[in-house]
Amino acid sequence: MRGQSVLLDSDVAELYKVETKRVNEAVKNNSDKFPYDYMFEISEEEFGNLRSKFSTAKFAKTRVLPKAFTEKGLYMIATILKSKQATEATFAIIEAFSKIRQLSRSIQELSIVKDKADQKALMQKSGELIAEIFDDALQMNGTETSIELNFAVLKFKHTIKKKKKMRNNE
């Protein structure tokens, strides 16, 4: 919608296990946290188009125009809502951001370190961070995954042997 991938407020509510009115209250009470590229209210025309494309009862119940959340808005609303799912999403966002910052520092260091042993250790660390960031999104071939990064002045390839993680309740 409007050239962006979005989720409607009712879908966000379902995702985070809260009522749609709680999502809309959170936006209303924190409007400064939702610029246009995070969330927007869809127009009457857009709403009509949605109704014609999706014949679900969900649209028949609403009295107000739905809000559309971009990916950034979806993350922002997770930091505000008080459900278990929203809290888990916030933790995942913080963990990913932290790992990306660590990866950034590691790559910066790689570009200045001259010692081959230090470079190898940094490449190992970078590869492990990338594997953690992408986690299940990595295409596994057996138990190994190869990652190759090519920066203008630096190129490295790293193979990661991934162990299957156990969940807390298993």
Q: Average of pLDDT values for 136-146?
A: 55
The better pLDDT of the pair 137, 12 is held by: 12
C-alpha triplet 15, 41, 71: angle, nearest 5°: 45
pLDDT band at residue 139 under the 50/70/90 scheme: low
- Those residues whose C-beta lies under 8 Å from the C-beta of residue 101, and which sit 6 or more positions away, are none
Q: Model confidence over 33-68: pLDDT tens digits?
A: 999 999 999 999 998 888 777 765 565 566 788 999
The better pLDDT of the pair 137, 1 is held by: 1
Q: Average of pLDDT values for 88-96?
A: 89
Residue written as tokens 């969330």? 39
> Could you please report the per-residue DSSP string of 110-142?
HTT---HHHHHHHHHHHHHHHHHHHGGGSPPBT
Q: Average of pLDDT values for 97-119?
A: 86
Position 170 pLDDT exceeds 50: no
Q: 1-15, 56-70, 116-130, 136-150: which has the highest mean pLDDT?
A: 1-15
pLDDT band at residue 117 under the 50/70/90 scheme: confident
Is this structure's pTM higher than 0.85?
A: no
Q: What is the DSSP letter of 106?
A: H
